[in-house]
Amino acid sequence: MSGTIKLLQGNEACAEGAIYAGCDFFGGYPITPSTEVAEELARMLPKHGGKFIQMEDEIAGLASVLGAAAAGAKAMTATSGPGFSLMLELLGYGCMAELPCVIVNVQRGGPSTGLPTKGAQADMMQARWGTHGDHPTIALCPSSIEECFTQTVKAFNLAEKFRMPVLLMMDEFIGHMREKMAVPEPGALEVYSHPRPKVKPSEYQHFGDGTSVGGAYAAMGSGYRFNITGLTHDLMGFPTNRPDETKLKMDRLKAKVEDHRAELTEVEEEFLDDAEIVIISYGAAARTSQQAIREAREAGVKVGLLRPTIVWPFPDQVVSDVLRKARAAIVAEMNQGQLILEVDRVNRSHTKVVPAQRYDGEMITPAEIMSVLKEVAR
């Protein structure tokens, strides 16, 4: 990718990606190890005509973001585990009210205060199942500094198109690592903004047919009348208890993702053509897995990598197909076992699946993955 070469931290690249995507509002509260995202945007947003506000806590931070999104802003917040927990009620509100925004979670060790300055992949299941009630989730997971930039842009695009909060699941290792990258020139990456309605205000339905994915919807204060609520609502946004309207709303939320799974399935594959063993990994752990695979290949072991870059919705079919061709799979992650549960769920061929885990705040090493790989390869 051509562009200006910079040496960036992952959190800095995330902030630059937000500006590239057209972010014009950040509301949040500082928390290790995500604070640099807020610091960078506090410096950068005013230069680009945007607004930055530090709220009294993470709940208020996401509330301000949802309010800005309702008013038509491209809005974002950043946090870590404890702050993400506080945001979950409002995350559900954003899904029900169909408000586009980006929530960055730079994961650290837990539970509770846990390991504030250490890394983990501890919130992956929380990202999917943390809120109450049924609704879909879109969550991206970068493994490099360049991806911190490009996936932030993609997160904004998906939020705008699918009209919902989108999660960027970084981790402390990626957030604080530094690499050089080419910052793309304007126009090199797609930047999507949802269309505005062209119908007369009297004909407008904020949650009507065609507005769910890629459709036109209005901002508060733009001359179109509608209601925003966390209650189940009708096509204009007004609360309803009618079973037919309730089902219509819930089906609408589910269909956003289920009807677009092909578009939302994104993986990276390495050495899978002849792989007898596949390592499934993501985020920082995938970087370690790549090194382990290269060492194993030099030793004659046929092993490959499957890395989901969009982790939710989980790439069921791709994982199932890869498992069908392998005699064993290793799921490498920095927790006590989260996405391995999804791998087991879609393992219809009964391929042997084993974990390679580390959860003491330190980076999982190639040697640790190689140790598991040697056991599996016997």
The domain spanning residue 308 has which CATH number? Answer: 3.40.50.920
Write down which residue in 184, 202, 234 finishes a domain. Answer: 184
| pLDDT value of position 216 | 96
Q: Is 90 exceeded by the pLDDT of residue 230?
A: yes
Distances (CA, A) of 87 to 59, 238, 329, 357: 5, 24, 34, 27
pTM above threshold 0.85? yes
Q: Which residues pair with 181 in a beta bridge?
A: 6
**336 vs 188: CA distance, rounded Å:** 39
Calculate the CA 178 to chain-centre distance.
Answer: 21
Q: Is 90 exceeded by the pLDDT of residue 3?
A: no
| pLDDT value of position 247 | 97
Q: Where does residue 49 fall: left (phi above 0), alpha (psi -120 to 50 degrees), or beta otherwise?
A: left
**What percentage of the chain reaches a pLDDT higher than 90?**
98
**216 vs 202: CA distance, rounded Å:** 15
Average pLDDT, the chain: 97
> Do residues 293 and 270 lie in contact, with contact meaning Cβ atoms separated by under 8 Å?
yes
Confidence of residue 137 (pLDDT cuts 50, 70, 90): very high
Indicate if 27 and 170 belong to the same structural domain.
yes
Indicate if 42 and 177 belong to the same structural domain.
yes
Q: Is 80 exceeded by the pLDDT of residue 2?
A: no
Residue 227 CB neighbours (<10 A):
14
| pLDDT value of position 112 | 94
Calculate the CA 324 to chain-centre distance.
Answer: 27
Residue 100 is assigned to a structural domain of this protein: yes
Residue 162's domain comprises 3-184
Residue 91 is assigned to a structural domain of this protein: yes
Residue 148 is assigned to a structural domain of this protein: yes
Q: ∠ at Cα 179 (28, 116), nearest 5°?
A: 40
Residue 85 is assigned to a structural domain of this protein: yes
Confidence of residue 186 (pLDDT cuts 50, 70, 90): very high
At 261-271, the pLDDT tens digits run 999 999 999 99
Residue 323 is assigned to a structural domain of this protein: yes
Residue 177 is assigned to a structural domain of this protein: yes
| pLDDT value of position 378 | 82
| pLDDT value of position 219 | 97
Q: Is 90 exceeded by the pLDDT of residue 42?
A: yes
Per the listing, tokens 């047919």 go with: 209
> Do residues 124 and 280 lie in contact, with contact meaning Cβ atoms separated by under 8 Å?
no
**52 vs 152: CA distance, rounded Å:** 18
Indicate if 25 and 123 belong to the same structural domain.
yes
Domain count, the chain: 2
> Do residues 207 and 233 lie in contact, with contact meaning Cβ atoms separated by under 8 Å?
yes
Q: Residue range 180-201: average pLDDT?
A: 96
| pLDDT value of position 1 | 55
> Do residues 125 and 113 lie in contact, with contact meaning Cβ atoms separated by under 8 Å?
no
Q: Is 80 exceeded by the pLDDT of residue 150?
A: yes
Residue 369 is assigned to a structural domain of this protein: yes
Residue 227 is assigned to a structural domain of this protein: no
Indicate if 44 and 164 belong to the same structural domain.
yes
Indicate if 11 and 123 belong to the same structural domain.
yes
Q: Which two tokens stand for residue 203?
A: 């004909």
Indicate if 22 and 158 belong to the same structural domain.
yes
Write down which residue in 120, 149, 184 finishes a domain. Answer: 184
Instruction: Give the domain CATH number at 50.
Output: 3.40.50.970
CA-wise closest residue to 162 among 94, 225, 247, 104: 94
**Alpha-helical regions (H) of 234-315:** 243-258, 283-298
